[in-house]
Amino acid sequence: MTGKFVASCKEELEVRNCGFAHLPAEEFVKSQWQTRTKSIFFLLYRLALAIFFTGVVINSVVVAVERGEFSKYFIYLTHWGILLCMGTTIMGAILVMVWHFHPEYSGK
Protein backbone atom coordinates (compact mmCIF):
# COMPACT_ATOMS: atom_id res chain seq x y z
CA MET A 1 0.00 0.00 0.00
CA THR A 2 2.65 2.54 0.99
CA GLY A 3 4.87 1.37 -1.87
CA LYS A 4 2.19 2.31 -4.41
CA PHE A 5 1.65 5.65 -2.72
CA VAL A 6 5.35 6.52 -2.69
CA ALA A 7 5.77 5.39 -6.30
CA SER A 8 2.85 7.50 -7.50
CA CYS A 9 4.14 10.52 -5.55
CA LYS A 10 7.60 10.12 -7.08
CA GLU A 11 6.09 9.85 -10.55
CA GLU A 12 3.92 12.94 -10.07
CA LEU A 13 6.66 15.09 -8.54
CA GLU A 14 9.24 14.65 -11.29
CA VAL A 15 10.90 17.67 -12.90
CA ARG A 16 9.23 16.99 -16.27
CA ASN A 17 5.83 17.59 -14.65
CA CYS A 18 6.79 21.08 -13.45
CA GLY A 19 6.72 22.83 -16.83
CA PHE A 20 4.31 25.20 -18.48
CA ALA A 21 2.92 22.70 -20.99
CA HIS A 22 -0.50 21.30 -20.23
CA LEU A 23 -2.72 19.45 -22.63
CA PRO A 24 -5.44 20.31 -23.28
CA ALA A 25 -4.86 24.01 -22.63
CA GLU A 26 -8.62 24.63 -22.85
CA GLU A 27 -9.01 23.43 -19.26
CA PHE A 28 -7.75 26.81 -18.03
CA VAL A 29 -10.16 28.92 -20.04
CA LYS A 30 -13.35 26.85 -20.14
CA SER A 31 -15.92 26.00 -17.55
CA GLN A 32 -16.39 22.30 -16.99
CA TRP A 33 -20.04 22.68 -18.01
CA GLN A 34 -19.35 24.35 -21.35
CA THR A 35 -20.15 22.46 -24.50
CA ARG A 36 -18.76 25.10 -26.87
CA THR A 37 -15.20 26.37 -26.97
CA LYS A 38 -16.10 29.95 -26.07
CA SER A 39 -18.78 31.34 -23.79
CA ILE A 40 -19.58 35.00 -23.23
CA PHE A 41 -21.25 34.11 -19.93
CA PHE A 42 -18.08 32.53 -18.57
CA LEU A 43 -16.09 35.57 -19.71
CA LEU A 44 -18.53 37.90 -17.93
CA TYR A 45 -18.38 35.72 -14.83
CA ARG A 46 -14.57 35.87 -14.77
CA LEU A 47 -14.61 39.63 -15.32
CA ALA A 48 -17.17 40.11 -12.53
CA LEU A 49 -15.01 38.10 -10.13
CA ALA A 50 -11.90 40.08 -11.06
CA ILE A 51 -13.72 43.39 -10.59
CA PHE A 52 -15.16 42.23 -7.27
CA PHE A 53 -11.81 41.17 -5.79
CA THR A 54 -10.09 44.29 -7.12
CA GLY A 55 -12.77 46.36 -5.38
CA VAL A 56 -12.30 44.42 -2.15
CA VAL A 57 -8.54 45.02 -2.22
CA ILE A 58 -8.98 48.72 -2.98
CA ASN A 59 -11.52 49.01 -0.16
CA SER A 60 -9.28 47.23 2.35
CA VAL A 61 -6.32 49.45 1.43
CA VAL A 62 -8.44 52.61 1.73
CA VAL A 63 -9.76 51.54 5.13
CA ALA A 64 -6.24 50.73 6.34
CA VAL A 65 -4.96 54.12 5.17
CA GLU A 66 -7.88 55.98 6.78
CA ARG A 67 -7.23 54.26 10.10
CA GLY A 68 -3.51 54.92 9.85
CA GLU A 69 -2.77 51.19 9.93
CA PHE A 70 -1.34 50.72 6.44
CA SER A 71 2.11 50.06 7.87
CA LYS A 72 0.63 46.86 9.37
CA TYR A 73 -1.36 45.93 6.26
CA PHE A 74 0.93 43.17 5.04
CA ILE A 75 1.35 41.38 8.38
CA TYR A 76 -2.18 39.97 8.24
CA LEU A 77 -2.69 36.74 6.30
CA THR A 78 -6.24 37.81 5.47
CA HIS A 79 -4.89 40.65 3.36
CA TRP A 80 -2.41 38.32 1.67
CA GLY A 81 -5.27 35.94 0.88
CA ILE A 82 -7.36 38.71 -0.63
CA LEU A 83 -4.39 39.89 -2.70
CA LEU A 84 -3.81 36.34 -3.97
CA CYS A 85 -7.51 35.96 -4.82
CA MET A 86 -7.37 39.24 -6.72
CA GLY A 87 -4.28 38.15 -8.65
CA THR A 88 -5.77 34.77 -9.47
CA THR A 89 -9.09 36.17 -10.67
CA ILE A 90 -7.42 38.89 -12.74
CA MET A 91 -5.15 36.30 -14.38
CA GLY A 92 -8.14 34.05 -15.04
CA ALA A 93 -10.09 36.91 -16.59
CA ILE A 94 -7.14 37.85 -18.80
CA LEU A 95 -6.69 34.25 -19.96
CA VAL A 96 -10.39 33.85 -20.79
CA MET A 97 -10.41 37.23 -22.57
CA VAL A 98 -7.40 36.32 -24.70
CA TRP A 99 -8.92 32.92 -25.47
CA HIS A 100 -12.27 34.46 -26.33
CA PHE A 101 -11.03 37.24 -28.60
CA HIS A 102 -8.01 35.53 -30.16
CA PRO A 103 -8.53 35.24 -33.93
CA GLU A 104 -7.21 31.68 -34.00
CA TYR A 105 -10.22 30.46 -32.02
CA SER A 106 -12.87 32.68 -33.60
CA GLY A 107 -14.13 29.92 -35.87
CA LYS A 108 -14.83 27.45 -33.07
pLDDT at 107: 47
Q: Is residue 18 situated within a structural domain?
A: no
Examine residue 58 and state whether it is found in any structural domain, yes or no.
yes
Q: Answer whether residue 50 is part of any domain.
A: yes
78-89 pLDDT, tens digit per residue, is 999 999 999 999
Q: Which structural domain range is residue 91 located in?
A: 29-105
What pTM value is reported for the model? 0.73
Is residue 19, in this structure, part of any structural domain at all? Answer: no
pLDDT value, residue 106:
46
Whether 7 is covered by a domain: the verdict is: no
Report how far apart, in Å, the C-alpha atoms of 60 and of each of 7, 49, 86 are. 45, 16, 12
Q: Count how many domains the chain has.
A: 1
Tell me the average pLDDT across 31-46. 83
Tens-digit pLDDT profile for residues 41-94? 989 999 999 999 999 999 999 999 999 999 999 999 999 999 999 999 999 999
Residue 96 lies in a domain: yes
Instruction: Read off φ and ψ for residue 8, nearest 5 degrees.
Output: -70, -35
End-to-end Cα, the chain, rounded Å: 45
Residue 38 within a domain = yes
Q: Is 90 part of any domain?
A: yes
Does 105 have pLDDT greater than 70?
no
